[in-house]
Amino acid sequence: MTQSHGTTSAWSRALLLAGAVAALATLGAAPARAADKTVKIGITLPLTGADAEDATLIKNGAVLAIEEANAKGGVAGYKIETVIYDSGTATAGQYDPAQAATNTKKLAADPLVVANVGPQMSGEGKAMAPILSQADLATITPSSTNPDITNPAMAGQFRPKGKAIYFRTVTTDAFQGPNMANYMAQILKIKSVYILDDSGAYGVGIADSYQKQAEKLGIKVLGRDQLNPKEADYTTVLTKIKSLKPDALYYGGVAQAGVKLAKQAYDIIPNIPKAGGDGVQGASFLKGVGFPAANGWYATNASPHMLEDPGVQEWIKTYQARFKMLPNDYSITAYNGALVVLDAIKRVAESGKEVNRSNVRDAIQATKLKTLQGEVSFDEHGDMLSKVVSVFQYRHDPKYPDDDIIHQQKYEGVAPAGS
């Protein structure tokens, strides 16, 4: 990083010189670009594959914030450019950690990139975090909830250089999994459960944290198994679950396996409550599953539910007008994530310091920003101070299209916290 500063200032010195020397007037284009003062924000999301639907909603949230800032003439004299990378690959069929790592290296290699918004998935995040740390490049994830990445005990693995670089505008599965276990025990009165995960970083993590809390609350865990997300047939494990007669099924994972699980569960275990985390909360899941199979599934979000707030309606209209689609809650956390970055750039620029990665990172760490989801501020590891988990249930409303994510699920309230 320091090296690239060196090159930047050496460049501007050379260009000043060039401006003075009339014979070098051909270089005139270069100082003009420097005067424009551009910085770049990366956006890294799995835009192809099973998660594409929700990744697009997130991308649009971040893009909207940046476009609005540019329309107002930029941030403290800086024009903001976005660099969008796709971390989904055809071979993975969903997010691909290796691709996320490659994208992060590309971002790190561009000195004008001062921060990143993303990733969507914790599996990507785990691959990205060490590279971000080495590059002193901060990212703000609007949806990745695996607690390991910001866990101080695992800092050696995920932030070898020490400083927090992985910030979130959502809370983590240290709350999302356990709070759903609380909800099941206290509100749904569940006594026994079978737990599945999709073998991804996020899925295994949230299923583990759910299981721990469920056992603590005295919910009997009748079994735990792992789905291969590329496999199509889950009738075997569902038949096994049916024979064990649990009160509920908990699934930790994302849409690729979740869609098939929900469809087949509708046939084999239609009458027991089924729940998952934010991996089954969203358009990718709903559109893939459809009704009647999605009916009755519970899902959580690691953020407050904002879409029904009167104060957010104006924003939803803007989003819809710009992108011709309805946002979800993580569109708002992505919008807010981008706002945090823009606010950090502004504070760095106004304080007279150089707008570079390490200063922007420090400014993000010190964030205190009023947003659509309330005040956003972070602890020293990058986790958000607000730790709200919302619970939803898919309930078919024939008045609206089947894939209308806002109207086909009902907000059930905030999941009970506490251990």
Partner 1 sequence: MTIWDILLQQIINGVSLGAMYALLALGFTMVYGIIELINFAHFNVFMVGSFVGLWVLQAMGIVGQGHPLYGLALIGVLLTALVVTMLITGVIGVAIERIALRPMRNVPGTAAMITTIGVSYILFNFILLGAGADSKNYANPLPSVHWEIGEAVLRLREVLVWAVAFGLMLGLNFFVRRTKMGKAMQATAQDQEAASMMGVDVDRVVVIAFFLGSALAGAAGLIFGLYYNYTSFIIGYTAGLRAFTAAVLGGIGNIPGAMLGGILIGLIESLGGQFLAVRWTDVIIFSILVLVLVFRPAGILGRAAPSRS
Which contacts qualify for 25-30: CB closer than 8 Å, 24 or more apart?
none
Window contacting partner 1 (CB under 8 A); options: 15-23, 105-113, 130-138, 286-294: 286-294
Minimum distance from residue 237 beta carbon to partner 1 (Å): 5
**Cα–Cα distance between 301 and 124 in angstroms, integer?**
19
Positive or negative torsion for Cα 152, 157, 158, 164: positive
Q: Residue 50 or residue 307: which is nearer to partner 1 going by CB?
A: 50
Helix (H) or strand (E) holding 40: strand 38-45
Contact 119, 85 (CB under 8 A): no
* Piece of the chain touching partner 1 by CB under 8 A; list 138-146, 222-230, 298-306, 336-344: 222-230
Q: Does 88 bind partner 1 (CB under 8 A)?
A: yes
**Cβ nearer to partner 1, comparing 251 with 315:** 251
User: Applying CB under 8 A, does 328 fall inside the site for partner 1?
Assistant: no
Distance in angstroms between the alpha carbons of the first and the last residue of the chain: 43
Q: Which x/- pattern over 40-79 shows residues binding partner 1 (rule: CB under 8 A)? A: --------xxx-xx--------------------------
Q: Which is nearer to partner 1, 46 or 337 (CB)?
A: 46
Residue type, 365: Q
Q: Which range binds partner 1 by CB under 8 A, 6-14, 85-93, 143-151, 330-338?
A: 85-93
Residue 52 vs 338, nearer CB to partner 1: 52
Kindly compute the dihedral angle of the four CA atoms of residues 42, 48, 50, 53, in this order, to the nearest 10 degrees: 70
- Establish if 289 lies at the interface with partner 1 (CB under 8 A): yes
Number of shown-chain residues binding partner 1 (CB under 8 A): 42
For 294-386, where are the alpha helices, taking DSSP H only?
313-323, 329-350, 357-365
Our CB check for partner 1 shows the closer of 169 and 409 to be: 409
**H or E segment and range at residue 287:** helix 283-289
Sheet strands side by side (includes 113-117): 79-86, 38-45, 113-117, 138-141, 166-168
Q: Exactly one of 19, 290, 374, 416 binds partner 1 (CB under 8 A); which one?
A: 290
> Using the rule CB under 8 A, is 235 a contact of partner 1?
yes
163 binds partner 1 (CB under 8 A): no
For residues 377 and 306, give the distance between their C-alpha atoms in angstroms, rounded to a whole number.
18
90 in contact with partner 1 (CB under 8 A): yes
Question: How many C-beta atoms surround the C-beta of residue 243 within 10 A?
Answer: 7
* Binding test (CB under 8 A) with partner 1, winner from 110, 231, 350, 380: 231
Q: Which of 144, 256, 331, 356 is the binder for partner 1 (CB under 8 A)? A: 256
What one-letter code names the amino acid at 301? N
Is residue 22 within the footprint of partner 1 (CB under 8 A)?
Answer: no
- Is residue 198 close enough to count as binding partner 1 by CB under 8 A? no
Choose the binding region for partner 1 from 21-29, 155-163, 240-248, 299-307 (rule: CB under 8 A): 240-248
226 three-class SS: strand
Nearest to 278 by CA among 304, 260, 239, 247: 304
The footprint of partner 1 (CB under 8 A) covers 48-50, 52-53, 88, 90, 93, 199, 225-228, 230-237, 239-240, 242-243, 255-256, 259-260, 263-264, 267-268, 284, 287-293, 402
